Every structure is written in structure tokens, then in C-alpha cells.
Amino acid sequence: MDENSIAIIPAAHEVTRSYDTEFKFHQDPDFRYLTGFPEPDAIAVINPKAKKPFTLYVRPRDPLMETWYGRRQGVEGAVKNYGADKAVSIDKFAADLGKILDGHDVLYYRFAVDHKLDQTILGYLTEQRVRRLKSAYPPHTIKDPTIITGEMRLHKDKEEIGLMQKAADIAAEAHILAMKSVKPGMNESQVESLMEAYMKDKGAAGVAYNSIIGGGDNATILHYVENNMPLKDGDLILIDAGAQYEGYASDITRTFPVNGKFSKAQREVYDVVLDVQRKCIDFTVVGNTHQKRQEYSIELLTEGMKQLGLLKGKTQDLIKKKAYLKYYMHGVGHWLGLDVHDAGRYYVDQQASQSRPYAPGMALTVEPGLYIPPDDKSAPAKYRGIGIRIEDDVIVTETGNINLTAAVTKDPDEIEALMAKRR
């Protein structure tokens, strides 16, 4: 942090689902990363120059509220269990704001996330600006703390990688369970609940994002999350599901035949995607940039589309015209961590012209796909309605990378052999 600065980092709040019920609480990842504190409505104040740099404002203990809505750490727990130098009731935050801000040149605070807190802070600053005679002055510069936290979160340390491996293992096993269970006639929702139950059983808080369980041409809808259709004999199923473990996300996609055997046409498309996916994993190493990897995936998949007869023409012309977008319309991967699409800038300059080079400790997904719309008259009929994505999670190392999700096979012969053993 800058010389003579202070940071205000809010926790998340509960979000109303309807009337008087809330969605399951999910802590703000930056707040979690910095404090570990699991409750809503807290605020961390970090003052690097103070003798006691870390203050947590938290919900106070309250027997009535705790009887209705659950246990609270209170100010005692915030100090004792979460290492706060000092803890204060959140009710006092607004009144303390002057004391917190005055005399610091720079405030690290992310505007436009917590609108109520924005108003509290702006309210105080507004009040001070019109009172020029005051001896103390509020910060003259406000900076987005995610410039710092994004960089911290982007580079995973050993402990984080251990947690990510665990999140990956749990999800990988859930995908294996799905391969061993899927049969024609089953509903997508049954696959979803089977996998989620498994993840929770193994210690995950739940899924890291809404699972995508798409049978047949539902797989060509990128964010298909209805997951409520029967699985048909002869169709593929695309499962994109990850686990959240100690806050960390895994993000795995596998595509396999509902009846346990790829058709010839399905296998042709699958083999193209698998070959590209393996090559893109090998490309996710020190020396390459994020943008180069995207371009590499586009080039390989455009070649694949030509090979399948989906596109015709010179590869470079097709790339220039972005012809591939019809069948491959997303990125080949993203940072992964506390968020499934994790924090950290993809460019190293403000103009977003210099793509970030990969470095040891970065966690990324590798997830090329091909999606052939069911009504695409220009595609060979045998491929229409086929959607395939294969996604693994890797950590960049000094010498290459580690595939965290290798435990769930993507080899089509191995998938068929595994499925042949199901009851």
C-alpha cells in the first residue's frame, strides 16, 4: 500500500431471494482472502502505519438475533479466532469514519460494489469538503484496492495450491461418479444432485458455480443451467461442474455419451476438441502470454473446423474473418481461485495492449469447445446439435504446469471402458 494510506474492505451482505428469505451467503473473496472472517456485514480497516494495523468491524453478539439467524463471532471472536488487532461493533463504523479517514493521503476502497457503504463514505467526504477550516483532512486520493488484491490472488502460494488440488479432486471424483451413473432416461437434474451431494459429502461447501448439465443440443447453450431435461440414448451429455472447497473453486468440464458409446460423428468432433485441449494445456507455460494462448486455440480449432467440413477456406482468412466464432465463441480459459473467474488483470498495461505472460503459481482453466447449432444448415447433418467442451485446471510451474484435474479421464476409450462397468 502507498505511504500514509488506509484501506476499507467490506464483507459481502446477505442477498434477498424473495420476501424474507435469502440466498445462501457467500463471502466476498477479497475480504475472505485478507481476513478469513466468514460472516456478512463486516468491514476490515487496514492501517499499515498503526501499531495495531488490522481492525475488524463486525456484527455484535446478540442472543435474540443468534437464536433466529445463527451464531456470531462478535468482537471477542474476531480478535480471538481471526487475528484482528482490534474489533468494534459494526454499528459504530459510520461514527468512526472520521477517525479512520482523517490524516491519510490515500484511501483504498472499491466503489460501486457496496452502494450503501459508498454513500456512507461519500457522505463523510462531502461533509468534510464543505468544512475547509477543519485541521484534519480526509484522503485526497481514492484507489481501487483490487489493484493490489488482484495481484496477490493471481499468484497462488503452496497452501492455496493444496486447497485448489482438494477442490479439484472432489470435483474430479464427482465427474467420475457421473460417468459411472449416467444412463438414457435419467434426468439432467438427477446428475446435478448426485454430483452436488457427492461434493458436499467430501467436505466441499457446495458447487463453485451453477452446474451446467446439458444433454444433446442443450450442450450448445454455453450457460445452460436449467438442468431439467431427460437424457436421451444416442446423445452426448456435457457436464461443467466444480466444487468450492475452503473458498477455492475448481472448474471441470467433461462431455461423454449418455449410452456409454460415442457415435462415429460424435467421436470425430470429440477428437478434434481433445487434441486442441491437450495442446493448449502444453501451451499454458512460462514464456507464453494469455492472449497468445487464445490465438493458438483459435488457430487449432479453425484447422479442426476445416477438417470436419464446418468451414472452408484458408485458415488465416477464416481467422481474420472470425469465421470460427460460429462454433467457438468463448475464451480458452481464465484465472481460477477463490472466484471461478478469478481476480487479476489479463493485461499488464492500462491500454490492454500487452497481454500478461504466464508465471509460476498462476492457476488457469483450459477449456476449448465446439458447438454446432442444431439448425445450422451449413454444417454436415451428422454434426448438428453436437456440443463438446473439455476443461481442466492447471497451475503454471517453473518447468511446465500441473494438471489439477487429471484424475477424471478425458480419453474417449477410457471413458467408454469406465461407463461399460456401470450397472
What's the closest the beta carbon of residue 30 comes to Mn ion, in angstroms?
A: 20
Residues 208-227 that bind ligand GLY (CB under 6 A): 209
Q: Which residues of 83-105 are buried (b: 16+ CB within 10 A; e: fewer)?
A: ebeebbebeebeeebeebbbebe
Q: What's the CA gap between 275 and 268, in Å, rounded? A: 11
C-beta of residue 395 within 8 angstroms of C-beta of residue 366: no
**Taking Cα atoms as reference points, which of 267, 182, 175, 270 lies closest to residue 233?**
182
Residues 388-407 that bind Mn ion (CB under 5 A): 391
277 binds Mn ion (CB under 5 A): no
Q: What's the CA gap between 298 and 287, in Å, rounded? A: 19
Q: What's the CA gap between 290 and 216, in Å, rounded? A: 31
Residues 370-399 that bind ligand GLY (CB under 6 A): 391
**Taking Cα atoms as reference points, which of 43, 174, 182, 53 lies closest to residue 114?**
43
What's the closest the beta carbon of residue 84 comes to ligand GLY, in angstroms?
A: 34
Kindly tell me which residue out of 30, 160, 217, 251 binds Mn ion, with binding defined by CB under 5 A.
Answer: 251
In the bound complex, which residue of the shown chain has the CB atom lying closest to ligand GLY?
240
The catalytic site residues sit at 20, 223, 240, 251, 330, 334, 341, 367, 371, 389, 391
Question: Which listed option, ligand GLY, Mn ion, none, makes contact with residue 169 (CB within 5 to 8 Å by class)?
Answer: none
367 binds ligand GLY (CB under 6 A): yes
340 binds ligand GLY (CB under 6 A): yes
Maximum Cα–Cα distance across the chain: 81
Binding mask 281-310 for ligand GLY (x = CB under 6 A): ------------------------------
At 118, the amino acid letter reads D
Kindly tell me which residue out of 235, 240, 268, 303 binds ligand GLY, with binding defined by CB under 6 A.
Answer: 240
What's the closest the beta carbon of residue 215 comes to ligand GLY, in angstroms?
A: 17
At 41, the amino acid letter reads D
**Taking Cα atoms as reference points, which of 133, 106, 129, 119 lies closest to residue 48?**
106
What's the closest the beta carbon of residue 63 comes to ligand GLY, in angstroms?
A: 41
Given the rule CB under 6 A, which residues bind ligand GLY? 209, 240, 251, 334, 340, 367, 391
